[in-house]
Amino acid sequence: MNCNSRMLCSSVFILVLALHISQAQYHASGASVNLPFYGNTPLHAEAGAHAPVADTPTPKQRMRRMYAMCPPLFQRVGTECYFMPEQRSSWLEAHFFCKDKNANLAEPQKFSDRKLRAFLQQHDAQSGKHEPIWFGATYDHRNHIWQWSITGNNLTYNNFAQLDPTKLQDSHCAVYDPSIKYRWSARACPDKFRFICQHKMPKVSEANRHKIYTRWNTTYPHQLANEVVLEVIDRGDNDRRYHRRVKAEGSAEEMVIPARKGGRRRRPQRPRNQSAAHPNDVNYPQSHTQRPPKRPRPSTTSTTSAPGHLLDNEVVPRVTATPGIATQQMTQYDRKLQRQREKERKRQQRKRERQERLRQERRERKQRLEQQQRQQRQQQQRQPITYRPEELRQRDDEQQQLRQQQEDAAQRRYQAEREQLEREQKEREQRKHEEKQREQQEREQKQREQQEREQREQRVREIEQLKEKHANEERQRAVDEDAERLRQQRLQKQREREAEERRVREEERRKQREEQEEADRRYAAERAAEEERLRKEYEKRILEAKNEQERLMQEEREAKRRELQEVQERLKAEERQRQEEIEREHKEQQMRLELERIEEAKKMEERELKRLEEENKKREEQQRKRAQEQAELEAEKNRLEEEEKRLRESIAAENEARKHQHEEEIRREEEAKKAEEEAEKQEKERKERERQQRLDAARRESDAMVHREMEAKRRNYASRIAALKPEDQQKFIEMRKRRKQLKERQLRALQKKELEEQRLLQQQKDEALKEALNEANQ
């Protein structure tokens, strides 16, 4: 019985000691800022009584204390909390890391940017690191402007250094660059750099500290916040219309806490009527018992209310989720999207009302006009009929028409005489012009023959140049094929080397597992031997016990030993399980990195293959054009020779009989034919230009529409992917790959169709050219 009482006393002592240690750890947060915490909750009245006595304030001011609180691992810089982890990540990974901490990538404004730059300079000077640091600004290529990633607002403060405009297509995420004194710069988003997270720093009173701990318990369980004591300098009349000034204890730095907008609402707001939304709209259920705040806190609040008996930093007990529709908290982007939809609905309603009002006004105006016309007709019917003024008016009109007819006849006679004189003058001038034109034709014939000879020589030179250019391009294509073959060989060697490295890593991991299993077996054998030895010793001591009391004490010690041994074994098992979990996470990380690297290599190969295909297509197009040009030159040469021969024969025949008259007829026929050909040629060129313009306009419109759709889809995908679970994101990525492959097949079919259309168009051109040659020969 005495033994049992001693055990009870020892258990009570251990519990008291554990309680004392936890109390000391809890008060460590207050001790770090020279503030003692008395009592377990902020509701105790002794907290204010035991606070350190501040300096005696002046009669016009009074001092109060507040607490600026930053989450664990975050530290205060100015009026914000920042955290810079040791890992390197891409911009998107850094964004999600900060979101997991209920924070955002830093979005510094003008004054906070200066303090943050000074802090980063001091931090890197102590750590010796000089790598860029991601923060939360991205470049919008569509609007050509920098924006904050969380709010989507444009940057009102710009601290960028001189940027290269040619690199903005690849570099569209912002960093602090130590090489330019921590000014802003741009980098490619997939690059892995350091990053800095930003969290809002709440400033609360002593009575409200437990609310912050309750809110942060879900994300930071059993962790203490970094607190700074603030001295509040209020006005003497306790007027809340003005901003409050606070000063950090032990520092001359002052901060301003803005006054709360509006007053507290004493009456609950009535729920607003929610209009039916489209199934694809983002409309999460909201609580209508209280109006949501205009500026929500960046940290996520707990969805379960804490019981009244909880202490300041106790963990809120988990509540088992019941099956049903999961409520999802609206983000700031969702609220902004909902507000925009509401504005658009109201605008459409105003537009419909305005159109209806205009239609009503037009109907009323039309009715008034019809009423006026009806009244005028009625008034005209009531007027008396007078015949005399109408007859006088008719006689005057007849006289006027007669005078007008006489004047017109005189004008026509004068016009006919003048036209006769002009016709005779034109005939005389035409005869003179024909004589001059005949002489001009002879001179032009000689000049034409000289020009044709020069053109034939020029075409021969062009054919030689084209042949030489074709030979040079053949040599360049051979060089390109050799380079492509070498690149494929390098890629194959790289794949073999990566496969060998993977095999070596797998072999090393297999050996480590075998060694671990062997060590576990040896440990199990040793533990069994030790237990057997202890059991034999215990049996021996039981046999050698002198009395019943010693046997009971021996059994009690043995029970304690076994309990201690079980605790140790459980701890070892937990440690092994933790090591296995760490090893599994490490393997998963390695596999993920390997998959990312393979995916990047595949993308690079696809880009290279696409580039080579485009080059081959361009080269084939150039070869086809050269062959076509050569064929056209040969045809033109033959046509010129035939035309020259025909002209010589016609000139010889014309010189023999009826030279002058026949030459005049030939000249007229040639001019008419040339005018027709020129008109047909101009008409064909005009139609070709119009068709090409329509094709270019349709292509530009299609490209612009595709670009707009892709931008809208990309933003929609980014917003929806961020809200998906990891397994849903993986499914979405696989689905997007399949869609991309389908689009590529459709693009190849479209390109094939365009090539077919070009081939048909070329055939039509060749047929038209042949018909023109046949007509010329005839």
Q: Comparing 294-308, 609-623, 740-754, which segment has the lowest mean pLDDT?
A: 294-308
Tens digit of pLDDT for each residue in 654-705? 777 777 777 788 888 888 888 888 888 888 888 888 888 888 888 888 888 8
Region 33-62 average pLDDT: 37
Query: In the prediction, which pLDDT does 197 show?
Result: 95
> Residue 7: pLDDT band by 50, 70, 90 thresholds?
low
Query: Which residues in 249-269 are b (16+ Cβ under 10 Å) and which e?
Result: eeeeeeeeeeeeeeeeeeeee
CB atoms within 10 A of CB 172: 18
Query: Where are the extended beta strands (E) located within 171-243?
Result: 173-177, 183-187, 194-195, 197-200, 203-204, 226-234
Region 643-648 average pLDDT: 81
pLDDT exceeds 60 at position 302: no
Residues in the chain: 778
Better-scored residue on pLDDT, 267 or 289: 267
Query: In the prediction, which pLDDT does 412 show?
Result: 79
Pairwise CA distance, residues 369 & 110, whole Å: 65
- % of the chain surpassing 70 pLDDT: 78
Pairwise CA distance, residues 87 & 73, whole Å: 14
Better-scored residue on pLDDT, 498 or 3: 498
Opening angle at CA 576, ends 572 and 580, nearest 5 = 170
Helical pair 388-544 and 659-722, crossing angle rounded to 10 deg: 40
CB 185 within 8 A of CB 175: yes
Query: In the prediction, which pLDDT does 195 show?
Result: 95
pLDDT exceeds 80 at position 307: no
> Residue 143: pLDDT band by 50, 70, 90 thresholds?
confident
pLDDT exceeds 90 at position 83: yes
Pairwise CA distance, residues 348 & 502, whole Å: 61
User: Tokens representing 291?
Assistant: 């109006």
Better-scored residue on pLDDT, 384 or 770: 770
| Helix, strand, or coil (residue 81) | strand
Pairwise CA distance, residues 366 & 364, whole Å: 5
pLDDT exceeds 50 at position 311: no
Region 724-738 average pLDDT: 82
- Can you give the three-state secondary structure of 389-450, one letter per residue? HHHHHHHHHHHHHHHHHHHHHHHHHHHHHHHHHHHHHHHHHHHHHHHHHHHHHHHHHHHHHH
| pTM value > 0.85 | no
Amino acid at 696: D
Better-scored residue on pLDDT, 217 or 262: 217
Strand pairing of 145-148 and 197-200? unpaired
Query: In the prediction, which pLDDT does 371 show?
Result: 86
Pairwise CA distance, residues 524 & 531, whole Å: 10
Region 642-663 average pLDDT: 78
Opening angle at CA 631, ends 625 and 632, nearest 5 = 85
CB 96 within 8 A of CB 88: no
Q: What is the DSSP letter of 151?
A: T
> Residue 241: pLDDT band by 50, 70, 90 thresholds?
low
Query: In the prediction, which pLDDT does 633 show?
Result: 82
Query: In the prediction, which pLDDT does 701 show?
Result: 85
pLDDT exceeds 80 at position 569: yes
Domain range annotation of the chain: 404-523
Q: Which long-range contacts (CB under 8 A, 24 or more apart) does 404-412 make?
A: none
Helical pair 2-26 and 548-656, crossing angle rounded to 10 deg: 30
CB atoms within 10 A of CB 491: 14
Query: In the prediction, which pLDDT does 275 show?
Result: 43
Query: In the prediction, which pLDDT does 280 show?
Result: 37
Pairwise CA distance, residues 65 & 30, whole Å: 13
Q: Comparing 283-287, 333-337, 450-454, 753-757, which segment has the lowest mean pLDDT?
A: 283-287
pLDDT exceeds 70 at position 430: yes
Region 130-143 average pLDDT: 89
Query: In the prediction, which pLDDT does 118 show?
Result: 92
Better-scored residue on pLDDT, 543 or 45: 543
Tens digit of pLDDT for each residue in 438-463? 888 888 888 888 888 888 888 888 88
Consecutive H or E run containing 730: helix 726-777
Query: In the prediction, which pLDDT does 267 show?
Result: 52
Query: In the prediction, which pLDDT does 322 show?
Result: 40
Query: In the prediction, which pLDDT does 301 show?
Result: 38
Region 297-315 average pLDDT: 40
Better-scored residue on pLDDT, 721 or 185: 185
Query: In the prediction, which pLDDT does 122 show?
Result: 92
Pairwise CA distance, residues 602 & 17, whole Å: 61
Tens digit of pLDDT for each residue in 381-415? 765 544 445 666 677 777 777 777 777 777 777 77
CB atoms within 10 A of CB 336: 14
Query: In the prediction, which pLDDT does 482 show?
Result: 86
Q: Residue 385: phi, psi to the nearest 5?
A: -90, 125
Query: In the prediction, which pLDDT does 33 show?
Result: 38
| Average predicted confidence (pLDDT) for the chain | 76
Q: Residue 139: phi, psi to the nearest 5?
A: -100, 125
pLDDT exceeds 60 at position 304: no
Pairwise CA distance, residues 74 & 124, whole Å: 17
Query: In the prediction, which pLDDT does 493 show?
Result: 87
Query: In the prediction, which pLDDT does 198 show?
Result: 94
CB 239 within 8 A of CB 323: no
Tens digit of pLDDT for each residue in 50-81? 333 334 444 444 557 788 889 988 988 888 99
Query: In the prediction, which pLDDT does 32 show?
Result: 38
| Helix, strand, or coil (residue 301) | coil
Tens digit of pLDDT for each residue in 513-566? 888 888 888 888 888 888 888 888 887 777 776 667 777 787 888 888 888 888
Pairwise CA distance, residues 455 & 636, whole Å: 10
Q: Comparing 47-51, 138-142, 514-518, which segment has the lowest mean pLDDT?
A: 47-51
Region 189-210 average pLDDT: 90
pLDDT exceeds 80 at position 257: no
> Residue 20: pLDDT band by 50, 70, 90 thresholds?
low
Query: In the prediction, which pLDDT does 176 show?
Result: 93
Query: In the prediction, which pLDDT does 199 show?
Result: 93
Query: Which residues in 731-763 are b (16+ Cβ under 10 Å) and which e?
Result: eeeeeeeeeeeeeeeeeeeeeeeeeeeeeeeee
CB 199 within 8 A of CB 298: yes
Q: Taking the mean position of all CA atoms in its chain, how far away is CA 177?
A: 23
Better-scored residue on pLDDT, 151 or 186: 186
> Residue 37: pLDDT band by 50, 70, 90 thresholds?
very low
